[in-house]
Amino acid sequence: MQVRMAPVDEAEALDMLAGLKSAALLSGYRGAPPRDLAALAALIARLSRLAMEYPGIAELDLNPVLVLPAGQGVRIADVRILRG
Angstrom distance (rounded) from CA 7 to CA 44: 9
10-83 CATH: 3.30.470.20
Longest dimension (CA), the chain: 44
DSSP 64: P
Residues paired with 61 in a beta bridge: 80
- Locate the domains of the chain by residue range: 10-83
Note the pLDDT of residue 33. Answer: 95
Each residue of 3-59: pLDDT tens digit? Answer: 999 999 999 999 999 999 999 999 998 899 999 999 999 999 999 999 999 999 999
Cβ–Cβ under 8 Å, residues 14 and 51: no
